[in-house]
């Protein structure tokens, strides 16, 4: 796949190139562009580009100037040290928003997201057999997600295997992991970070709860058409999924690894 990087800091650009090649060895970096002006010139007559990684604040302006000036039908991943541009980023062709400093984990998650989006689009025009085999090959290039999450237990930091995690939840502004054995551990991550790290086998039921698929015993509608989730393990609070997210949750619940 062909990638273009827009980044005015040379070291940041080099680091991104190295990380991309580490995650997807077959990737081809077509160009590293360093300014709005250089990017505008390049994209006037650019070769085929599959994906753009772009900083937002460049030396001669904001990268949105590029995408507002030229009509590009290319997905964009924004890499920035600022969170203030999140909304305008997704009003362009933005598919992800990575906060600097970048990591192998964040790039791997972004590339998997990209390939999954491409897979969904291809299914509209290809037979399932062709689409499935093609994207299985692509996804095989992406490094697997972390197999464990680091948690805090008194003065120790220990790994908990992802397969042992049943539930992630917020309590008194702290984030905890509950295992299938019912043990609770403090995690020094946000629920958003865990959601991204743990991937598609976990579902963000609401602001406070992130569920493993295997923990769900069954779901039932309330009078307000919300879903209430019954779990295979003991948990003090009821977990609800909003009416707006109910259909999406049920689709996720019906998903199995054999259908990937």
For 117-172, the DSSP string reads HHHHHHTTTS-HHHHHHHHHHHHTTSPPPPSEEEEEETTEEEEEEGGGEEEEEEET
The answer to whether the predicted template modeling score (pTM) of the entire model surpasses 0.85 is no
For the chain, how far is it from start to end, CA to CA, in angstroms? 21
- Taking domain 2-113, whether its CATH number is 3.40.50.450 is answered by no
Q: What is the pLDDT of residue 113?
A: 87
The number of CA neighbours under 13 Å toward the Cβ of 73 is: 1
- Taking domain 148-259, whether its CATH number is 2.40.50.1020 is answered by yes
Domain parsing of the chain, residue ranges:
2-113, 148-259
**Burial of 98 from C-beta contacts in 10 A (0-12 / 13-18 / 19+):** middle
Q: Are the C-beta atoms of 111 and 23 separated by less than 8 Å? A: yes
pLDDT in tens, the chain (260 residues): 899 999 999 999 999 999 999 998 889 999 999 999 999 888 887 678 889 999 998 888 888 888 888 877 888 999 988 777 777 777 777 888 888 888 888 899 889 888 888 777 665 545 444 444 444 444 444 444 567 888 888 778 889 999 999 999 999 889 999 999 999 999 988 988 888 788 778 889 999 999 998 999 999 998 888 899 999 899 988 999 998 888 888 888 886 443 33
Q: What is the pLDDT of residue 121?
A: 65
State the SS3 of 191-203: HHHHHHHHHHHEE
């Amino acid at each position: 796949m062909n990638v273009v990087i827009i980044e005015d800091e040379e070291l940041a650009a080099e680091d991104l190139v190295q990380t991309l090649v580490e995650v997807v060895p077959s990737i081809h970096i077509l160009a590293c562009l360093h300014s709005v002006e250089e990017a505008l010139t390049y994209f006037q007559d650019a070769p085929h580009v599959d994906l753009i990684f772009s900083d937002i604040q460049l030396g001669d302006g904001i990268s949105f100037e590029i995408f507002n000036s030229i009509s590009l039908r290319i997905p964009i991943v924004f890499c920035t040290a600022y969170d203030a541009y999140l909304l305008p980023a997704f009003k362009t062709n933005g598919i992800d928003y990575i906060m600097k400093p970048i990591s192998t984990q964040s790039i791997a998650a972004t590339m998997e997201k990209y390939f999954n989006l491409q897979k969904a689009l291809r299914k509209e025009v290809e037979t399932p057999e062709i689409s499935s085999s093609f994207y299985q090959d692509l996804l095989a290039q992406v490094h697997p997600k972390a197999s464990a999450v680091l948690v805090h237990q008194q003065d120790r930091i220990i790994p908990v295997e992802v397969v042992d995690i049943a539930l992630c939840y917020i309590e008194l502004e702290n984030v905890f992991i509950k295992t299938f054995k019912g043990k609770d551990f403090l995690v020094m991550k946000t629920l958003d970070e865990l959601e991204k790290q743990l991937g598609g086998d976990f579902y963000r039921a609401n602001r406070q709860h992130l569920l493993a698929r295997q923990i769900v015993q069954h779901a039932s509608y309330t009078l307000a058409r919300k879903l209430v989730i019954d779990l295979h393990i003991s948990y003090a609070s009821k977990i609800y999924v909003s009416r707006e997210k109910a259909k999406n949750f049920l689709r996720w619940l019906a998903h199995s690894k054999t259908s990937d």
